[in-house]
Chains A and B, each alone.
Chain A
Amino acid sequence: MTTTTQPKIPADRRPSPDAASPRGGGQRVDLARLGARQIVLELRQFARSREQVMFTILFPVIMMVIFGSIFDAEIGAGVTYTQYFVSGMIASGLMVTGFQALAIQIPIERDRGVLKRYRSTPMPRSVYFIGKVGMVVVLAVAQVVLLLAVAVPFFDVSLPATGARWFTLAWVILLGTTACTLTGIVFSSLPKTSRSATAIVTPVALVLQFISGVFFVFTQLPSWMQQVAALFPLKWMCQGMRAVFLPDAYGAQEPAGGYELGRVALVLAIWCVLGLVLCLATFRWTRRQDG
């Protein structure tokens, strides 16, 4: 371009031709590298936040120790309540990490303007979600390891005995965590402010735990409650975990007379798809009052 005299701007402050041309428009952003960095950043923030570590990681362990120590009656097929509860608590821990933590954390970031600031940069939107999902997966695995580290020596739970069971554990963690993470992100757009987020999210998580067979043996719940619970992922995650940690014989005690792994996978996959669609359609980068 030809440089012309600017009216009120001193000559030394004229933009150079270089500055006037678009820069970096064609450069490809390395999504994988940015995503990995975002996961590290999220984990670093998480690890430095004591309340979050307590709430997300240690709370399920504490609950497991309390309930596991109080009730240890046999509930059928040589399975104790403790064993049943531990498998439910592992599923429940995944939900707390994915659903509850994100549904509370994202509104806080939105209120603080962190999300708006990310939107001000050329960062691809997906990097933010990769960061959250990656953080949740790492935390979920850490959570399962920690719960098993307590449950195996103290609560008569044994590690999966066969490769098939390990495989089940892996996909239940993967599908369950993904479903919970995505619905957590969907939920994060509901509360008006971060202060109301806890009030909205905590009861939802708690009610699901009560009706999905975490605190109570599922088959002992009224059938209408079982049907309601069957609409949500947690019930199926608990069932999947029982297939991993309880003897095959106990499967006969399940409502359908078996662990129904195919249906577990199907329901969780449907929740993943539903969560993803809703997440993309409803996510807000700015506070509601910002319009």
Chain B
Amino acid sequence: MDTVTATVDPDVAIAVRGLRKTYGDVIAVAGLDLTVQRGEIFALLGPNGAGKTTTVEILEGHRQRDAGEVLVLGQDPARPDPAWRSRVGIVLQGTGEFEELRVGEVVEHFARFYPNAADPDEVIDRVGLGAKRRALTHTLSGGQRRRLDVALGIIGRPELLFLDEPTTGFDPEARRDFWDLIRTLASDGTTILLTTHYLGEAEELADRVGVIAGGRMVTVAPPSELGGRAEQDATVSWVGPDGPKSVRTATPTQLVAKLQAEFGGEVPRLTVTRPTLEDVYLGLIGHDRHGLAGHDLSGHDREEMTGPDASPSRRGRRPVRSTRGSA
């Protein structure tokens, strides 16, 4: 019996250890670890070719792995059965375009495949396609097609939803609407695994972010803490009598208090900034590119992966052993 199966935790939606996949000579995924809690929104970030889509497709049961232990909702996705499929929603990268069918027809048709499907009309409204119900799918715009993809991903009321680069090609307003939809789904208890190129999207939505580079998980952390972001020095900027000034400091509050005293009230054009997610992210994948693959980071990562659960210090509960995985 493999170790992941032996320690099935009903609060863990996805458990991956030592995942490997090669295509010929190309190593797409090189020993990747990942744990996603139930109810969590988890974002996978990484440059093109980092192994994101390969990883997600293995988790979705669309691709076979070469090695590693994988449990998704307590089952091995390499042998997907209809009952498991009905609990997993998938929004693939790139649309599956139906010929000559109307939006409503496609959604209604797919609803019949699920034992506990949502109301098709409600789902169509929810993804913002209410006005397009009778439109043929090939007349939809790129963003509208993506919404149809999402509708088909959530029509079965999944416990776990995979979203592979869901908002590529959206305009900013459509992206905002989409984020609201994802938050609503998450608030209903749906676990969401998202891959994205947009750091803002990860920061906006995700409880935790995993950065993949070179087929490995480089780090896992809440967006605000990624790469030690929260602990890094802040930059305090203001406009003094001699012009703009900027100071990097570990104690910005002290500095601001001092400035307040100096100016006797408002400090002109005061800002306090930390490194952006993008700064941190580029640093992380840059490390990897130079072969330094942050050993400190992956060490931190491993600690998080191999604990009784993903974040033992904050959970205050004993690891649960369960037989659900083999049931």
Q: Which residues of A contact B (CB under 8 A)?
A: 1, 4-10, 12-16, 19-20, 22-27, 29, 33-34, 37, 41, 44-45, 48-49, 108, 112-117, 119-124, 286, 290-291
Contacts and interface: CB of A to CB of B under 8 A. Distances in A.
Interface in B35-70: 37-40, 57, 60, 62-63
Contacts of A23: 86-87, 115-116, 157, 159
B36 to A, nearest CB: 11
Nearest to A120: B90
A4 B317 contact: yes
Given A13-B189, A291-B23, A291-B63, A44 B85 contact: no
Given A15-B189, A34-B113, A8 B92 contact: no
Given A25-B83, A120-B62, A45 B98 contact: yes
B97 A112 contact: yes
B315 A121 contact: no
Contacts of A24: 83, 86, 114-116
Interface size class of B (residues with CB under 8 A): 35 or more
A20 B159 contact: yes
A184 to B, nearest CB: 18
A25 B115 CA distance: 8
B150 to A, nearest CB: 12
Nearest to B206: A8
Contact of B105 (A5, A44, A115): A44
Given A23-B159, A25-B83, 11 more contacts: A4-B11, A7-B315, A15-B189, A24-B114, A37-B109, A49-B100, A112-B97, A113-B92, A114-B96, A117-B92, A120-B153
Interface string B200-226: 000000011000000000000010000
A114 B97 contact: yes
Given A8-B40, A8-B222, A44 B101 contact: yes
A119 B60 CA distance: 10
B156 A117 contact: no
What are the nearest 10 A-B pairs in CB distance? A24-B115, A25-B83, A117-B96, A113-B96, A48-B100, A122-B82, A15-B189, A122-B85, A7-B314, A122-B86
Given A4-B315, A8-B222, A119 B101 contact: no
Name the residue among A7, A26, A29, A290 with the largest chain B CB count within 10 angstroms. A7
B95 interface: yes
Specify the main secondary structure of chain B where it touches its partner: loop
B112 interface: yes
A15 B87 CA distance: 13
Contact of A15 (B39, B94, B208): B39
A123 B117 CA distance: 13
Contacts of B85: 120-122
Contacts of B172: none
Given A14-B189, A291-B23, A9 B39 contact: yes
Contacts of B188: 19
24 contacts: A4-B316, A6-B11, A7-B315, A9-B37, A10-B187, A13-B186, A14-B189, A16-B189, A19-B188, A20-B38, A20-B159, A24-B86, A29-B113, A48-B99, A48-B101, A49-B100, A112-B97, A112-B98, A113-B95, A116-B62, A122-B113, A124-B82, A290-B57, A290-B62
Interface in B102-147: 105, 109-110, 112-116
A239 B316 CA distance: 78
Nearest to B114: A122
Contact of A5 (B73, B99, B191, B316): B316
B315 A1 contact: no
A34 B73 CA distance: 26
Nearest to A286: B62
A33 B11 CA distance: 36
Contact of B156 (A16, A34, A113, A121): A121
A16 B187 CA distance: 11
B253 interface: no
B305 interface: no
Nearest to A47: B100
B152 interface: yes
Contacts of B186: 13
A28 B239 CA distance: 71
A19 B60 CA distance: 19
A290 B114 CA distance: 26
B311 interface: yes
Contacts of B11: 4, 6
A72 B190 CA distance: 70
Contacts of B101: 41, 44-45, 48
Interface in B150-172: 152-153, 156-157, 159
Interface in B272-327: 310-311, 314-317
B252 interface: no
Contact of A113 (B94, B105, B110, B157): B94
Contacts of A25: 83, 86
Contacts of B99: 45, 48-49, 108, 112
Contact of A122 (B39, B63, B156, B314): B156
